Each structure stands twice: as C-alpha cells, then as structure tokens.
Structure 1
C-alpha cells in the first residue's frame, strides 16, 4: 500500500513548542522543534503544519481537536495526551510513545505509526484511510466502531485489542500477533489472517480442531 508521506521542507527554522502561546491562532508551521517539554498543557485548538518534532514530551497535554498536516514526530512521548476529535493527515509517528493516548472521533489520512508504543490508546469512532501500523505495540488498544479503509497492521502486537463494531474486510493482520481479540465473527469477514490465526479464531469460536 502506497501512503503519501509528509511534505516537509528541507530548510526549517528551529523553534520551541512553547512559542505556540505567542501565536494569535495557536499555530506552529514551517519549523523544527527539538527537545521541548510541553507536558500537562491546555493550549486550546492547535494547528501544526510543515514540521519536524523530535525528542519532545507532551504527556497529559490536552490537544483536543488538533489539526496536523505534514508533520513528522521522532522519538516523542505523547502518553495520556488527549487528541480526540482531531484531524491528522500526512503525519508520521516514528519510534514514539503514545501510551493511553485518546484519538477518539478523529480523522486519519496517510498516517504511519512505526516502532511506536500505542498500548491502551483509544481510536473509537475514528475514520482511517491509508493508515499503516508497523512493528508497533497495540495491546488493549480500542478500535471500537471505527471506519477502516486501506489500513495495515504489519508485525504488530495486537493482544487484547478491541475491534467491536468495526468491520475488518480487506484489513491484513496476518503478520501481527495476539492471544485474544475482541471482534464479532461477522466483522471478521474478508479479514486477511495467517493460517495460525485462523486456528486461533476457530478456538475462540469453540471449535475443536483435529488433524
């Protein structure tokens, strides 16, 4: 699956994330932010574009309804941040910690999560198109009532993830691992699974498999 990558300039001005408070519209763009600590903040409705954000901490910050376009996060910690009702397009989260992040009721397009920890994060009632999760931890992550289109889970840990009310037709989870998943059998129709996973789902159905 081809995903549009963030369109980020080569030449970016170095800024601090706290500069957002100096901007009239809570907006940062055309800049690089490195080593900023922006924890437990409530900056209002934020807009980010054409940015690289590296080695920054945003734990417990309220980013509800944030609008992000063409942004790359590298080695960042957004644990327990609130990003619900957000618009996230052409964004990469790389090697970042997103433990317990609230992404509920958000819109994702051309987004990649690579080598990230997303355990116990919440994506409920979100719309996702062209989203790739690669080698990421998604234990007990909530995908309740999501609309998934061209979404891939490559070599992820999905144990305990909740896909209740989320159709998985055309979604490939065959390279990922789990002991248990919450998913309705009719929502599994058309989901791409490995032969081992097919046996797991059969066991969850209560079937006894004999060779």
Structure 2
C-alpha cells in the first residue's frame, strides 16, 4: 500500500487554536498549533490545511463537515469528537486518544493512525482508502456500512471489533490480535489473515479444525 503522507512546509508559523476565530472561514493554514484547549467545543466547517497540531485537547467537541488536508496530529486528545461528514485527506494521528470518536459519512483517504487509542470509535457509512492503522488499540471499534480499499491493520488490538455490512475483501489484518471479532461470513471472504486467525475464525463460524 502506497500511502501519501501530509504535504507540510519545513517552516510553519506557530499559532493557538483560538486564532481560527479571527478567520471568517474558520481556517488554519500552514500553522503549528501547540498545547491548545478546545474541549466541549462546537465548530462546523472547520478547515485545517498544511498544519501540525501537537499536544492539544479537543475532547467531547463537535467538528461536523470538517475539511482536514495535509495535517499531522501528535499527542492530542480527540476522545468523543464528532467528525461526521468530514473530508480527511493526507492526515496522520500519532499517539493520539480517539476513544469513542465518530467518523460518520466521512471521506477518508491516505490516513495514518499510529500508536493511537481508538477504543469504542465508530466509522459508519464512509469511504476509506489507503488507510494504515499501525500499533493501535481498537477494542470494540465499530465499522458500519463502510467501503474499504487498501486498508491495513498492522499490529493492532482488535478485540470485540465489529464490522457490520463492511467487506474485508483484500484487507490485511494478519498481524493484528483479537479474542472475539464480529463479522458476517460473507464480509470476511477475501480478508488477509494469519494461520492463527484462520483457526480463530473457523471456531467463530462453528467449524471444527482437525490436525
């Protein structure tokens, strides 16, 4: 999978997140935002382009119809953030908390989640392409009616993850780990799994494996 990383300038002007209120279009562009607080906030049609966001708290906030392009989030708390109907392209979440966050009806392409916590997160009715989940905790994460293409789950904890009406055909989960996993047989067809996972899925589907 060839994921296109964010296109970021080597020189970014520092800013606080509340500077976005100075722009009538609610846009931050070519900025480095550090240690800002916007918990329990609401902002529709937020735009962040070509920026690095580091050490910020956006927990419990609502960012519907957001446009994120060429952005890197590092050490941020985005727990229970609502990203419904967002456009998220060439974005990275590194060591971030996204517990319970919602990505409903989103267009997501060239995205990296690395060493992040996505327990109880929800992705529904969205298009996901060129996505890498790397060393993430994803317990009880829900994927509902998602269209996936070139998505990899590398060394992730997927226990009790649910893939409802979401095909994993061509999707690689072979290096990830789980005890239980909720998916229909037809949505599992074509999924790339390890030999250990094959035995787990056989058991879940009621098959008996003989050595």
TM-score range, shorter chain: over 0.9
CA contact (8 A) 2:168 2:187 kept: yes
- Tell me the residue number matched to 1:20: 20
- Tell me the residue number matched to 2:115: 115
Gap regions ≥5 residues in structure 1: none
Large movers: runs of 4+ above 3 Å: none
- Tell me the residue number matched to 1:184: 184
Give the CA deviation at 1:208: 2.2
Cα-Cα RMSD = 0.7
- Tell me the residue number matched to 1:98: 98
Paired positions, count: 211
For 1:136 and 1:59, locate their aligned partners in 2 and report how far apart those are by CA, in whole Å: 19
For 1:78 and 1:29, locate their aligned partners in 2 and report how far apart those are by CA, in whole Å: 20
Give the CA deviation at 1:122: 0.4
Gap regions ≥5 residues in structure 2: none
- Give the secondary structure class of the aligned counterpart of 2:197: helix
CA contact (8 A) 1:140 1:161 kept: yes
Normalised to the residue count of structure 1, the TM-score between the two structures is: 0.98
- Give the secondary structure class of the aligned counterpart of 1:198: helix
- Tell me the residue number matched to 1:151: 151
Normalised to the residue count of structure 2, the TM-score between the two structures is: 0.98
For 2:171 and 2:48, locate their aligned partners in 1 and report how far apart those are by CA, in whole Å: 30
CA contact (8 A) 2:43 2:64 kept: no
For 1:111 and 1:44, locate their aligned partners in 2 and report how far apart those are by CA, in whole Å: 21
